[in-house]
A and B are shown apart, each in its own frame.
Chain A
Amino acid sequence: MSLRNCRDVKVLQVSPVGRSETPDEFFELILEYPDWDGWKPGQFVMVRPVSWELDMLWARPFSISSAGDGRLTLFIQKVGRGTGRLARIAPGDMVTLWGPLGNSFAVEKDTPTLLLAGGIGIAPFRGYVERHPSPKNVQLFLAHRLPLACYPYDYLCGHVQGQCILEEKPEDLDGIIDAMGGLIKEYAQKKGLVLACGPTPFMRTVQRFAREFGARAQVSLENRMACGVGACLGCVTRDGEGHHVQVCTKGPVFWADKVEL
């Protein structure tokens, strides 16, 4: 009965990224691509290895980092039980996969577009950059804590202009916030588009500056999810009117002025 949107697919490859100092902290999970008719950058998938049996019940949500040529690439940071076990999955194992889910980032060919990534928040931007019709209008800013080699930063800089700041000490955060403020102000002035993905405090900063400078900004949220299809109401956030809305179906991407963070 299963339609193509939910299928068991094979793990093709699991590759650690930026291995040396941070073993397995980041990895690429490359899956058989279920030939979805179309996916848009910012959308995500739910992944649940068949071998999880019933111990871990929920699938985990991950942004589509890249897809095509029979491969679906997810870029994952190991943070807990689920991602820890995913890091140890082997090629040939089967995972249950459903998607593509949620909405997507705005793509405006001729609008100067700023991508703000906080760490692993860079994941959806790989697909965004690969699919953008006019990469010369796109600029990337990455705030990161782990070595640059852990992120697909150099790869993205082959497509778009990039800038990054390493956060080693607490003081570095001020520099990051200043840089973000400056960039958001600049894009507000040139009527550009600001797209952000990263941890919640990072998104709050984006939201604050977007309000202050009147920038058109979108933020992608990472709420905990059970179903991914809008049914359980476990992933909600408050919209601009204070109503609870599902992040999985009404998001994960929200206009920064239309969501309470």
Chain B
Amino acid sequence: MNMHVSIAGLELKNPVMTASGTFGFGLEFAPYGDLEALGGFVAKGISLKPREGNPMPRIAETPCGMLNAIGIQNPGVEAFVTQALPALKSKDVAVVANLYACDAAEFGELAGVLAGEEGVAALEVNVSCPNVKEGGVAFGQDPAQIARVTEAVRKKAGGKHVMVKLSPNVTDITVCARAAVDGGADSLSLINTLSGMAVDVRTGKPRIANVIAGLSGPAIKPVALRCVHQVVRAVDVPVIGIGGIASAEDALEFILVGAHAVQVGTANFLRPDFAFGLAGEMEKLLSEVGAESLEAFRGSLQLPL
């Protein structure tokens, strides 16, 4: 079966990508599989300047999920371009850079640095910075800000594909989706983590130093599916489904609901070779359920009348 997907100019040989922050800069997983088995790979979030991230403890396990408050620890965009990118360039896999900044101008600047980098196929804009200068509301929760940030990135992206990654921590995700499209997004990826926390009755302390953290993993899949379902019906740009995918069946659920592709995050921690075999398993399962093609299966969800 042909597993190739076209996402508004972003060509993937199969619909499986790995999600930002869960696959490092790609080479961490080299002993466990061939990066070229993936359709795409989203690098760890990068900012203009290096960031040390949050204090420890930063991660905690929860039933069927995990909490993380890494705080976008990263070596900065220069190091990404000079150290990580050269090794990735030669690989036949779409490399997506995940951008993190705290105001629209900084996002634009970051996009500008990457615009000329041949090895980068797309920019994924992470609009969930909690400490925004403008307005004081997290980007991801303010449609006007989402539009402004997307526009800033679009202007400086030098024609590169712009994917905007949406937060589920909002009342109506379709409003945010429309704002990103208005700002010029080529595609939308969703969802980022759900805001959560965990405490320890024995120590009387939060389990994460930052107190509030992001929930990911199979526990969030129903929320993610619902968001994708709503967004594919609200906008006409392609959507990439993210959230709790831990099997081929999970991945195809997102495609059935209308996603063009998926990103696998926390499941990469279940076993480090997980993502490499996923496209093959999706292909097998598509045949099993009698789908003619990936394209025919996409969005074929039968809703009650």
Interface residues of A (CB under 8 A from B): 1-3, 5-6, 48, 54-59, 96, 98, 223-224, 226-237, 242-244, 249
Considering the chains assembled together, what is the distance between the CA atoms of A5 and B32 in angstroms?
Answer: 6
For B276, what are the chain A residues with a Cβ–Cβ distance below 8 Å? 1-2
For A55, what are the chain B residues with a Cβ–Cβ distance below 8 Å? 63-64
Task: Give min CB distance, A187 to chain B, whole Å.
Answer: 30
Within 8 A of A (CB), among B132-170: none
Q: How many A-B residue pairs have CB under 8 A?
A: 109
Selected contact of A227 from candidates B37, B52, B63, B272, CB within 8 Å: B272
Contact A236 B56 (CB under 8 A): yes
Sample of 19 further A-B pairs with CB below 8 A, known A6-B272, A226-B59, A244-B53? A1-B37, A3-B31, A3-B32, A3-B33, A5-B31, A48-B270, A48-B271, A54-B246, A57-B66, A57-B269, A58-B66, A96-B271, A226-B68, A227-B272, A229-B32, A231-B24, A232-B59, A232-B68, A242-B52
Does B76 have its Cβ within 8 Å of any Cβ on chain A?
no
Considering the chains assembled together, what is the distance between the CA atoms of A55 and B52 in angstroms?
Answer: 31
Considering the chains assembled together, what is the distance between the CA atoms of A68 and B66 in angstroms?
Answer: 35
For B246, what are the chain A residues with a Cβ–Cβ distance below 8 Å? 54
Interface of A, helix, strand, loop or mixed by DSSP: loop
Contact A244 B32 (CB under 8 A): no
Considering the chains assembled together, what is the distance between the CA atoms of A249 and B276 in angstroms?
Answer: 21
Task: Give min CB distance, B88 to chain A, whole Å.
Answer: 14
Q: What 6 A-B pairs are tightest by C-beta distance, nearest first? A: A234-B59, A231-B24, A1-B276, A2-B273, A231-B28, A226-B269
18 contacts between A and B (CB under 8 A): A1-B37, A1-B276, A1-B280, A3-B32, A55-B63, A55-B64, A57-B65, A98-B32, A98-B271, A223-B56, A226-B59, A227-B22, A231-B28, A231-B29, A231-B44, A233-B73, A244-B53, A249-B28
Contact B29 A229 (CB under 8 A): yes
Does B23 have its Cβ within 8 Å of any Cβ on chain A?
yes
For B196, what are the chain A residues with a Cβ–Cβ distance below 8 Å? none
Considering the chains assembled together, what is the distance between the CA atoms of A242 and B73 in angstroms?
Answer: 13
Question: Contacts A3-B273, A48-B271: A234 and B61 contacting too (C-beta < 8 A)?
Answer: no
